[in-house]
């Protein structure tokens, strides 16, 4: 109980101490097997319960060794995690997740579920975001995405390759991804860029967005139906917009 560990320095963050309020588990260890049963770890408001086991080769966990893990994570602070891995993006909120993983270190697979509460991303409030999780064929899939932004319902799916996850969090810019999201009745009054200029724009939007590629070189396709649009309170009707990158 009440111990500290030192997190290693990364490209954009220095080494720092991490305090843990509690860690307990029933351990079994031999040259061919490791197991941790009824594990609990606590850090402030964040807690995780877990069970883990793995086959070992001469007391070493090799890439081809099998493993199994189940976990239940509660109230993890995104901003604190970003600090630990050196991300300087404006993200905050708390995440809870549960799931099971199994397979081998070189070919893991698993399923789970996550929920984000009181999130903020780039100044945009995300009160709730829910998603089913799946790890398969070298990618993490976010299925049945369900979220709310500015009172508008969002739904869809996403996936990101895991090929660079073990190298560095900053190599995510090179990982391939897919995104398919749609939203309904997004109130344009919430967008400051449409209200602060000479022309005030009001109305609501339905939209779909598809994206793929890498964060460095994304390919985008977007379609929007702008409804009951008004410019400086002068109604202009509906508009349809399409955008595609080349």
d(Cα 222, Cα 191) in Å, to the nearest integer? Answer: 18
d(Cα 110, Cα 112) in Å, to the nearest integer? Answer: 7
Q: Which residues of 158-191 are buried (b: 16+ CB within 10 A; e: fewer)?
A: bbbbeebeeeebeebeebbbbbbbebeebebeee
Q: What is the reported pLDDT for 171? A: 54
d(Cα 205, Cα 192) in Å, to the nearest integer? Answer: 15
Q: What is the reported pLDDT for 70? A: 98
β-strand 152-161 against 139-149: which pairing, if any?
A: antiparallel
pTM assigned to the model: 0.86
Q: What is the reported pLDDT for 34? A: 97
Task: Give pLDDT < 70 ranges for the chain.
Answer: 9-13, 85-86, 164-174, 196-197
d(Cα 47, Cα 26) in Å, to the nearest integer? Answer: 17
DSSP letter string, 89-129: S-EEEEEEEEEEEEEETTEEEEEEEEEEEEEEETTEEEEEE
């Amino acid at each position: 109980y009440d111990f500290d560990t030192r997190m290693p320095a990364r490209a954009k963050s220095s080494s720092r101490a991490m305090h843990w309020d509690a860690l307990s588990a029933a351990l079994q260890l031999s040259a061919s097997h490791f197991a941790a049963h009824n594990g609990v770890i606590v850090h402030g408001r964040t807690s995780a319960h877990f069970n883990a086991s793995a086959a070992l080769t001469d007391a070493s966990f090799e890439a081809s060794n099998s493993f199994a893990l189940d976990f239940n994570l509660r109230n993890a602070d995104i901003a604190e995690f970003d600090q630990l891995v050196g991300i300087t993006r404006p993200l905050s909120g708390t995440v809870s997740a549960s799931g099971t993983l199994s397979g081998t270190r070189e070919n893991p697979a698993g399923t789970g579920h996550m929920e984000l509460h009181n999130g903020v991303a780039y100044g945009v409030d995300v009160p709730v975001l829910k998603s089913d999780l799946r790890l398969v064929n070298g990618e993490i899939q976010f299925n049945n995405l369900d979220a709310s932004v500015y009172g508008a319902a969002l739904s869809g799916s996403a996936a990101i390759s895991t090929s660079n996850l073990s190298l560095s969090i900053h190599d995510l810019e090179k990982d391939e991804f897919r995104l398919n999201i749609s939203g309904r009745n997004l109130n344009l009054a919430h967008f400051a860029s449409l209200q602060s200029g000479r022309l005030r724009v009001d109305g609501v939007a339905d939209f779909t967005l598809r994206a793929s590629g890498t964060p460095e070189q994304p390919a985008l396709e977007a379609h929007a139906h702008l409804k009951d649009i008004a410019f400086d309170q002068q109604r202009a009707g509906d508009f349809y917009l399409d955008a595609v990158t080349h």
